[in-house]
Structure 1
Amino acid sequence: MGRVLVTVTVHDRKYLIDAILFDKDGTLIDFASLWLAWLDALLDTLGETVAVPIQRSDLASAVGADLISRTHDAGGPLAVGSNSEVRLVLAQRLYMSGLRWEQACAAVESASRIVDTWLSEEALIDPAAGVLDFIGQARELGVRMGVVTADDQDRTLRHLHLLGLQDSIEVVIGADTVSSGKPDPEGVLLACRRLGVAPERTLLVGDTSSDMAAATAAGLATGIRLGGAGPDDELLFSGNGSIPLHRVERFEEVSITP
């Protein structure tokens, strides 16, 4: 595919770009629809397979989630960590509560495998509001697109298929394909190389400060954070960074024109 430059406008600022990179969870996929349901199922299964010496709510809190209010910390392990990192945090919390380390690790791994065999991702996955129209418009204009995610490569490819985006996203960089995940820029720069695009003609859309830090470190044209301000990104958005960053609530606040 040849290079096609388009203009992306956000907050009245224009960027000439030929590629867009996306985070997956919370950006392409509605976070709560999948990952809070997954955590619900994991903790239920864990409680059925081992005598858990800690409250369920405390385990959820350890990975940055509140399953009562159905909210999550955008900077917590569930939001920005890999699946294996989330399992490790849960195992550590169980260990600190009295289980032997090997018992804690085995219990979490076993519960995760059980959940993965029956949890219906197809029934749970909802696209983030506005994302399908946004990607459809970008594809019509010939924009190159990729995904850089903290999730595993195979699961990400499966999720893109369930969203119907497998033909729009050319490159996928999962956490298991790089040595360092976001906020390290390794995955972002690898995606640019595989797309054959210059970082300075690329933007990243994500929902966490880790996404914006990776965009900044990679020297992208800009980073766009969905969902507004986070408690941990004041320095990034101070205006003193090496690239401009933007906060938006919806994809509709970003326009793409030839």
Structure 2
Amino acid sequence: MADIKIGNEVIDDIRLLIFDKDGTLMELHYYWTQMVGLRAALICENLKLDKDHAEKIAYVMGADMKSGRLRPEGPVGLKKREVVLQAAVDYLNNAGYDDVYDLCFNVFQQVDDISSRELKRFVKPIEGAAELLRNAARFGCKTAIATIDRRERARLAMKCLGFADIIDLVVGADDVSRPKPDPEQIHFLLNAFSIDRSHAVMVGDATTDVQMGVNAGLKASIGVLTGLATKEQLKGITPYVVEDVSKIEILNTSEG
């Protein structure tokens, strides 16, 4: 058991820390702009479309390739894979290209395969993530990931970042039937660890992450400003908002 310190506030008696992945433990914009850019480029290569179309397809999927950042409204980084894929399909349909769902589906799979083989070129950790996870483990606090990504891809990312040995459990979008902010992922984790919600904290960069923790009735939900949500948006849901995970401190307790 550990206490969590946020500025001058202490959240006591915590047995489980639940983290979002993208934008919380690893760089959101770096990862997803590369993934979406490659998806758009391969779709256009297959259809013999130019770079202008590739940038527009990436944009509707949620990535502004000119700025190298994600759009705050998503869908990528916020919504399930199927929603992002459908955004590309809809763009192509509107551009006069029919029957492209299978093409887009196969391209998404192709990019998954490429990124799995060359994952180090796609992922970067958020400052302070490794130290926070290791301190939690050292002080007997369980750690878990709740992500909109697929479980196996999330595991691969954690392994690549060197976090695999300090993350106790990963739950992905493919493990549940309802997306964030529905608390299904959190209920899954609480049941898996047999830990009461009063001893768990959610940490995430998106409003859906923080709202999920609130909806689950956790001891606290902490927002970090390394993703898409603004401080004002997060403050509207939780009093606990910090610049990044390096500002979250784990305090040991004598109760273990």
Task: Decide: shared fold, TM above 0.5.
Answer: yes
Partner of 1:11: 7
* Match for residue 98 of structure 1 among 96, 107, 130: 96
Deviation digits for residues 108-144 of structure 1 (CA, Å, limit 9, x no counterpart):
1122233233331123211111101111111111111
Q: Report the secondary structure of 1:256's partner residue.
A: strand
Could you tell me how far 1:58 is from its partner in structure 2? 2.3
Partner of 1:39: 36
Change in Cα spacing, 1:95 to 1:185, as seen in structure 2 (3 Å) is: same
**Residues 78, 86 of structure 1: 8 Å contact kept:** yes
CA distance in 1 between counterparts of 2:49 and 2:210 reads 37
**Residues 43, 103 of structure 2: 8 Å contact kept:** yes
CA distance in 2 between counterparts of 1:196 and 1:170 reads 13
**Residues 203, 221 of structure 1: 8 Å contact kept:** yes
Q: Which runs of 4 or more aligned residues in structure 1 lie more than 6 Å from their structure 2 counterparts after TM superposition?
A: none
**TM-score after normalising by structure 1:** 0.88
Of the structure 1 ranges 180-189 and 247-256, higher mean CA displacement relative to structure 2 is found in 247-256
**Residues 135, 168 of structure 1: 8 Å contact kept:** yes
* Match for residue 183 of structure 2 among 182, 185, 191: 185
**Residues 127, 246 of structure 2: 8 Å contact kept:** no
Deviation digits for residues 27-71 of structure 1 (CA, Å, limit 9, x no counterpart):
121113322111111111111101459733322221222111111
- The residue identity in structure 2 corresponding to 1:248 is V
Change in Cα spacing, 1:163 to 1:185, as seen in structure 2 (3 Å) is: same
Q: How do 1:1-258 and structure 2 match up within 5 A? A: 5-16=1-12, 17-52=14-49, 55-100=53-98, 103-119=99-115, 120-227=118-225, 230=229, 234=233, 237-238=235-236, 244-258=238-252
Deviation digits for residues 164-212 of structure 1 (CA, Å, limit 9, x no counterpart):
2222111211000100011111111111111221112111111100101
Could you tell me how far 1:223 is from its partner in structure 2? 1.2
**Residues 231, 241 of structure 2: 8 Å contact kept:** no
CA distance in 2 between counterparts of 1:138 and 1:212 reads 20
5+ residue gaps, structure 1: none
CA RMSD, 1 decimal: 2.1
- The residue identity in structure 2 corresponding to 1:24 is K
Percent identical among aligned pairs is: 23
**TM-score after normalising by structure 2:** 0.89
**Residues 202, 221 of structure 2: 8 Å contact kept:** yes
**Residues 149, 173 of structure 1: 8 Å contact kept:** yes
